[in-house]
Each structure stands twice: as structure tokens, then as C-alpha cells.
Amino acid sequence: MAPLLSLEHVSKNFGALKVIDDLSLSLDAGEALGILGPNGAGKTTLFNLIAGDLPVGAGAIRFAGEDVTGLPAYIRCRRGIGRTYQIPHPFGNMSVFENVLAGAAFGATRREAESYERCIDLLRLTNLLGKANLPAGKLTLLERKRLELARALATDPKMLLLDEIAGGLTDTECQLLIETIRAVHRSGVSIVWIEHVVHALIAVVGRLFVINFGQKLADGEPRAVMESPQVQEVYMGIEER
Amino acid sequence: MSSAASTPAFRIERSTRTSWIGLVLAIAIVVLLVSVPWWGGEDDLRLIVEICYTIALAQLWNLLAGYAGLVSVGQQAFVGLGGYALFGLTILAGVPPLPAIVLAGVIAALIAVPTALIVFRLRGAYFAIGTWVIAEVYSEVMGLIRDLGAGTGMSLPVAISRHVGETRFDREASLYYVGLVIGIGTVAVVFAWLRSRQGLALTAIRDSETAAGSVGINNDRTKYAVYLLAALVTGMIGALIYLEKLRISPDSAFDVIDWTADIIFIVVIGGIGSIEGPFLGALVFFALRYFLADYGAWYMILLGAVAVVIMLLAPRGLWGLVADRFDIHFFPVRRRVRLE
């Protein structure tokens, strides 16, 4: 079976700086993939390329059997690529409920009234139902991150790109988040998760992909990847919680 | 996800208590306005028409700048094109004036299609300057049309204005109702637009263009639709204005102060990004003009000073102050969740 997502020799430069350098990557439907790498390795840029927020410099991106390289972000979203932002981008003057509704009404192209129930369910899942009528701009950082998740899920993604949503959580909160993402994964959504909180990542994903200087450093079973000499070297000094 | 527990019972509310009060108030005002020709004079009618189209222009500019992020300084292009379309249609093509108002709007919208292709390539300040430049280009082009008076402009033949009404008062009364329909219609369309799915997309774009794209909103098409709507109605307003003035020239029809700068003033002091704001701004604008009309240049200086002070003290305008303090919304576009 063809993979759900494949990047073929993708490169991206910012001026003279090579941020993504001839990177290839593939993801099967139903997989959960973790992405690790030091700061500045190009992880968020990789998401921007996959989601269509940035055009690739070279190479091709295929999703669900279609070449999406030239498609704008909103069409990729409708094809099933959902994403959260590392730095949350809430619609600050809209209510929390309307934020999620926007995802359901446009990403999933449902009629507005048919989306209401789904939005309520997602707000409950992300524990934001009590704040449904609050302007999203009034949420705390952690609540904004949960809103990112709810809004991305509202678009009915086939694949969910999660960009560092576990940072700053207490152990209990982190455990809840892990349960939530597992439930999303069980429901059939493929996951690609960038995260520095390695133990949370390993609790969910079945495969790890490590990038450094925009190139693949390792790819495989999480424990084997973490113990490989190259990864150990790059991660020297970065503690594993 | 199919969670085990079922969805809690809920209701989505689209109205507020103040919005019902607002509705009653609005109906009362409309009834009052409809009756004006029976008891008011020509001056009253003219002033109310001016207030109507000013509020309509302000609502449209607010939709463009306050929601779609399209800070246009060139809306006078469509006032001018609408006015000239009316003169052209009635004088050269023999169309009766009232249908010509609607057609003038359509023509303005048609011209907006290629205009958008050019100005939409520009962002931020460049968009503002680009729209202004294009308005100047249209002004120059109209100044070349000899059949429409070229650079010096022309008057509407008496025979054509007779179509609107036999006596002077009949004409004023007819145009009064046209102005009323355009004013109330614009507010109604803007309100309906913002309450709809389109409005959801538009407010999302206003808050974050990046995130709007990532949830499947087609930013360009949403903005494009607003731009064309604004051109359509602005064109009709231009036609109405010059049917009432009976005389058109490129300098007045494409005047950036009258048709855009004053409107920006109204929206900014009233409160950008709300329907209530332009009403409040128009109130302040007409009040200042009424009390300061005799002071010439001081009027413009004071207008500018008021704008600067309000921008510094209340960046979201006068309505922003009111809405923050009392949480009232006469035009509710929100969706409130009520759990039962």
C-alpha cells in the first residue's frame, strides 16, 4: 500500500541557510511518528512545508495518493492534513467555541449547524467546555495549546501534525494529554508529533525520526533510535525526563 | 473519537437581550424614517440621505478594513465609477435613473474584478497606496470621456431628473427612499454576512491569517467576495449621490477626502471591527460638522485632533469602550454555547 504521506528529496533554504536538506520521509496510514531533533534542526519548518504554510525549495510532497506540493494550506487542510502551532495562533477575538467551529465548518466542510455537536465533543475532550464562550485571547498558554488541538481535530484530519504541545505541563496534565492523543490515534488518525518531552512521545509513537541540520539522523523503533550512537551524541546534555 | 459518554445537552444562542431591544428600537426608527417625507422638509430629507449613505460607506469600509484586513484608501474609485456609470447610462444609453442606480453598482463591481487582480498582489501599506493610485487612474480616465464632460464635468439634463419625480419635492422624496433602502439594506447585508459562515471565516482571517489557512479557510476568496460586495454597494451609493447632486466632475466624484478619509475617520473613532462602531462614529462626525460648520479650516483641524486623541486613548474606538464595559451587542454575530 502506498504511504499516506511521503516527502521526496525535499529541501528548503532561508537565504544561504539550508534548513531542510534533501530530506525524504514516509508515513503509513494509521502510524504514529515522533520527530526529535535539537533546536534549530528544522522540525517546525518541516511541518510548515507539509502543511503548506511554506513552499518547498525542491522536492515533492505526496499525501493520500496526491501530489500536494503546489497546493495552498487551506486545500491541504481539506484533504486531511491537520496541524497545531508550536506558538498557538488562536482567533483571539472569537470565542473558544467559534475557534473550533471554524475548523469544523471549513476544514471538514460541514454545514455550520451540523458541526455544533462535534465541536462540543471536542471541547469536552480537550477540557475546554467550561470556557466555550470566553474569547480565545483570554486563555492561558496551556489552554491555548489544547485549543490548537481541538481546532485541528475539528477539521477531521487523516493526519495530525502536533508541534510541541506537551511542553510546560505537569505530570498529571501530561498523562491526560497522552491519553487524549492515544484516543485520537486509536480512532484512525495518523499522528506526526514533534516533542522535546521524550517520555511522552515514546508513550504514544511507534517510530521515531530524528533530524539534525535539516537531514535525517535516524529513523526506526523508538528505543533503538534513542540508544543509537549518533542520537546519543546529538542529545548529549539534553536530559531525558 | 467516539467517547463513551454522550454529548451533553446544549443550545447555541445567536441573540442577546440587548439585541431584542435593538430590534424593537430599529423597527421604531425605520417606521419614523419612512414617515419623514410627510412632515419633513427638503433639507431634512437631504441630510438623512447623506447620513444613510455615509453609514453605508462606513459599514462597507469597516467590513474591508476591520474584518478582511483590506485597508483601502481607494473606495472613492467606486463612488466615482458609480456616479459616472449613472450619467453614462441615463444620458448615453437612455436607461431610466432608478434602474440605472442598480446597474451602476453592477458596473462598479465588474470593474472591481480586474482591479482586485492588481491590488490583491499588494500587502499592507502597499495595498493602501495601490488602491489610492488606481482610484486616481480611474479619475483621469473619466476626465478623458468627452461625452461625459471630460475634465470639467457635466450636469444631468433636466429631462432625466424629471424621471425621478415631477416636482422638486417628489424627486427629493423618491431619492430619500432610495437612500433609506441603500442605508438599511447595507446594514442588513453586512449583519447577515457577519453572522453567516462567511462571517466566521472573515473574523478568523481578521484574527490570524496563518491559522485561518490551516483550518481550511480560503483567505483570498473570502477577501475577494468582500471587496466585490463593497464595490457593488459603493457604486450604487455613488450613483445615488450624483443623481441627487445633478452634477458630476472627476475631481468631486473621485475625492479621497469626501468618500474615503471622512469614512475612515468615522470607522476609526466609532470602533473598527464592529457593526455598532460606524453608527457611533457617524453620530460624532455629523455632530462635529453641525456645531463647527461655521469655523472653516478649524473644523478639519479639530476633526483630525479628535481622531488622534481617540486613537491614542481608545484604540478600538468609542464603541470599544462601551462594549468592554457593559458587554452589550445590538448586532450579535457571536454564537454562545448554553449547556443545559
The structural domains of chain A, with segments of one domain joined by +, span 1-80+157-241, 91-156
Res B189 pLDDT > 90:
yes
* pLDDT range class, residue B81, cuts 50, 70, 90: very high
The pLDDT value given to residue B41: 83
Position with higher pLDDT, B123 vs B54: B54
Q: Give burial (CB, 10 Å; 0-12/13-18/19+) of A182.
A: middle
* pLDDT range class, residue A152, cuts 50, 70, 90: very high
Beta-bridged to residue A10, according to DSSP, are A23
The total of other beta-carbon atoms located within 10 Å of residue A119's CB is 31
Closest among A160, A150, A139 to A63, alpha carbons compared: A160
Closest among B29, B16, B326, B297 to B180, alpha carbons compared: B29
Pick the residue from chain A with its C-alpha nearest to B7: A121
End-to-end CA distance of chain A: give it in Å, rounded. Answer: 37
Q: How far is CA A237 from CA A157, A195, A231, A233, B91, in A?
A: 36, 17, 12, 9, 82
* pLDDT range class, residue B135, cuts 50, 70, 90: very high
User: Is A186 within 8 Å of A197 (Cβ atoms)?
Assistant: no
- Cα dihedral angle (B44, B45, B50, B53), rounded to 10 degrees? 140
Taking an 8 Å cut-off on Cβ atoms, the answer to whether B213 and A89 are in contact is no
Q: What are the chain A neighbours of B194 within 8 Å (beta carbons)?
A: none
Work out the average pLDDT over B234-260. Answer: 91
Question: Where do the DSSP E strands lie in chain B?
Answer: 10-13, 154-155, 247-248, 336-339
Place of cell 535516524: A218
ipTM for the complex shown:
0.89
* pLDDT range class, residue A237, cuts 50, 70, 90: low
* 3-class secondary-structure state, position B248: strand
The pLDDT value given to residue B162: 81
Which residue among B8, B197, B337 places its CB closest to the CB of A97?
Answer: B337
| Residues sharing a CB contact under 8 Å with residue A172, sequence separation 6 or more, in sequence order | none
Res B225 pLDDT > 80:
yes
Taking an 8 Å cut-off on Cβ atoms, the answer to whether A93 and B336 are in contact is no
Taking an 8 Å cut-off on Cβ atoms, the answer to whether B8 and A117 are in contact is no
How do residues A108-120 score in pLDDT, each as one tens digit?
A: 877 888 889 999 9
Q: How far is CA B27 from CA B34, B159, B192, B272, in A?
A: 11, 37, 17, 25
Q: Give burial (CB, 10 Å; 0-12/13-18/19+) of B32.
A: exposed
Closest among B117, B220, B200 to A75, alpha carbons compared: B220
Taking an 8 Å cut-off on Cβ atoms, the answer to whether A102 and B7 are in contact is no
User: Is A95 within 8 Å of B334 (Cβ atoms)?
Assistant: yes
* pLDDT range class, residue B1, cuts 50, 70, 90: very low
The pLDDT value given to residue A236: 63
The overall average pLDDT reported for chain B is 89
The pLDDT value given to residue B193: 93
How do residues B33-73 score in pLDDT, each as one tens digit?
A: 988 888 888 888 999 999 999 999 999 999 999 888 889 99
The pLDDT value given to residue A210: 92
Beta-bridged to residue B248, according to DSSP, are B154
Which residue among A89, A94, A125 places its CB closest to the CB of B203?
Answer: A94
* pLDDT range class, residue B202, cuts 50, 70, 90: very high
* pLDDT range class, residue B237, cuts 50, 70, 90: very high
| Distance from chain centroid for Cα B96 | 25
Tell which CATH classification among 3.40.50.720, 3.40.50.300, 3.30.365.10, 1.10.1370.30 matches the domain A1-80+157-241: 3.40.50.300
Which residue among A78, A98, A117 places its CB closest to the CB of B216?
Answer: A78
Beta-bridged to residue A162, according to DSSP, are A193
* 3-class secondary-structure state, position A123: helix
Of all residues in chain A, the percent with pLDDT exceeding 90 is 68
Question: Where do the DSSP E strands lie in chain A?
Answer: 5-14, 17-27, 32-36, 58-63, 66-67, 81-83, 159-163, 190-194, 207-212, 215-220
Beta-bridged to residue A190, according to DSSP, are A159
Could you please report the per-residue DSSP string of A173-207? HHHHHHHHHHHHHHTT-EEEEE-S-HHHHHHH-SE
Position with higher pLDDT, B296 vs B273: B273
How near does any CA of chain A get to the CA of B120, in Å? 16
Res B2 pLDDT > 50:
no
User: Is A81 within 8 Å of A63 (Cβ atoms)?
Assistant: yes
User: Is A102 within 8 Å of A151 (Cβ atoms)?
Assistant: yes
* Nine-digit cell string for A241: 525526563
Q: What is the sign of the dihedral through the CA atoms of B48, B49, B51 and B56?
A: positive
How near does any CA of chain B get to the CA of A86, in Å? 12
How near does any CA of chain B get to the CA of A74, in Å? 4
Beta-bridged to residue A182, according to DSSP, are none
Closest among B94, B236, B80 to B145, alpha carbons compared: B80
How near does any CA of chain A get to the CA of B217, in Å? 6
